[in-house]
Amino acid sequence: MIAPVWLWAVAGEAVLLGIAAALLGRPSYPWVAGLLGVLGAIGFDLAVPSIPAAAGPFTYLLPGLIPLAVALLFLRGAEGATWASGGFRIPPGTALPTIGLAAALAAVFLLFSLEPGVLYGFLALPAPDIGSFAVLFLGAPLLALGQEALYRGYALGRLADTQPFRIALFASSALFALSFLAPRELLAAGAAGAAQILFLQVVPEFVLGILLGLFFYKGGWSLLGPWLVRTALLWIGTLLPVGPGNAPWEILFVFSLIALSAMIVVLQVGLVEPRFRQRRYLELAAQPLRRTLLARARSRRQTRNALLALGAVVLLVAAAAPIGNLAGPSPIRLYAIASGSMEPTFYRGTLVAVVPVAAPSDLRTGEIIAYTAPYLSPNGPVVHRIVDISRNGSEYVFTTRGDANPSPDPRPVLFSQVVGRVAVALPLLGYLLLSPPLLVGLLALAFLVALYRSSPPGIVARLRRPVLPRGEGDPTP
């Protein structure tokens, strides 16, 4: 028997949310279904320690069966709707192009997700045994089908009937991302570890939900494309024999955003909406020339905005690379003031730019330098002022002191220790170095704003439903 207490808990959740759906009415169905899927995922995570080891494959199948059952319960049980209206359809002539585009998206993700390994080296992952490989290989399509049926086929489809498409897209993606919360890990990780979990698990899944939702809509409200992409990503994540080595989690997060951004660009360029949906979506009258011109303009605008979203991430990565000293030798180095030893000249959190010094004779008393001194600062250079310069034969010896310190530093500084002189100081920006979650959070915020701007706004269903009830066939233009 598999965790009977947990099964009772999920059954109780289903009853309570079902009662809420009945009381609130049909417009609440997608929210109730999505929250039920989220609660089921969280409940499964909490119940994993109590599931007997003998359960075996069920621990991999249940996360897919739960959302699939919820989607079918609301689609067929509560609404009595057709399979096609839930995304279980393949528009004529789209199967092969959809498969090809899904394969291209998976290849783009694989390329960029392995990029940190180029910088930090690759790590060989242990190969699963035959039984585990079979369960992971066969369980991925089921898990993908359950998630896509609930969060795309049902939640996004039903929300788009009553809300602007952009709102429906982001709401369904948020529900999808919440299902990846890992309460056991969050409780055990502490504040810093919780930030890492959120940025590595929840935020990328939210962006992935945007990508899959766009594929669902632009593919004719069909689950085929999102299901294929999600299955491929699950295979890559569980069966790939290598992974990035000791890459910091911030770098893994950044490259996951780059991968998803590139996938969105490929999707926007590679999949053009059918003309009839462009007409409905843009509220255009049946004027062929005007419709064609506006459709082309909108396609160019969406592609441009998607490229801007990708460009924003690339620029932020380029800015963050020297901050993290990832770009190799550079004439300018950036450091953060981590203490108050230089107050009031530099307060904690000041970002300083350090330029190299060609010769020791170029330095003067009163200048502020950065030098390596592991006995004072094991995590980076010390930034202090030169208060005296002397010579020991041909070697220059520098005496340094922090402006707020009553006495000079305990050891003299040799020119071989000097990183450079401080050229520019910017208050507060150093906190981006001192707090990696803050830097990553700002990066995520900038990316999500760009992504929101690049997503299609849409119109409410009352303006487009009379043209085509979703899933009932494609009218002629």
Q: Which residues participate in catalysis according to the annotation?
A: 339
Checking DSSP bridges between strand 368-371 and strand 382-392, what pairing results, if any? antiparallel
Is residue 351 within 8 A of residue 425, CB to CB? The reply is yes
Is residue 409 within 8 A of residue 365, CB to CB? The reply is no
Q: Which two tokens stand for residue 251?
A: 């770098």
Closest CA to 62 of 85, 37, 94, 97: 37
Rama region for 391: left / alpha / beta (φ>0; ψ in -120 to 50; rest)? beta
Q: Which two tokens stand for residue 362?
A: 């170029």
Pinpoint the alpha helices (H) of 151-271. Answer: 157-162, 165-178, 183-197, 203-218, 224-239, 249-270
Is residue 356 within 8 A of residue 420, CB to CB? The reply is yes
Q: Which two tokens stand for residue 224?
A: 């085929």
Dihedrals phi, psi of 337, to nearest 5 degrees? -75, 115
Q: Do you find a cis peptide bond into 344, omega within 30 degrees of 0?
A: yes
Is residue 419 within 8 A of residue 333, CB to CB? The reply is yes
Element housing 312 (H / E): helix 288-323
CA dist., res. 108 & res. 255, Å (int): 12
Cα-Cα-Cα-Cα dihedral of 21, 27, 28, 31, to 10°? Answer: 140
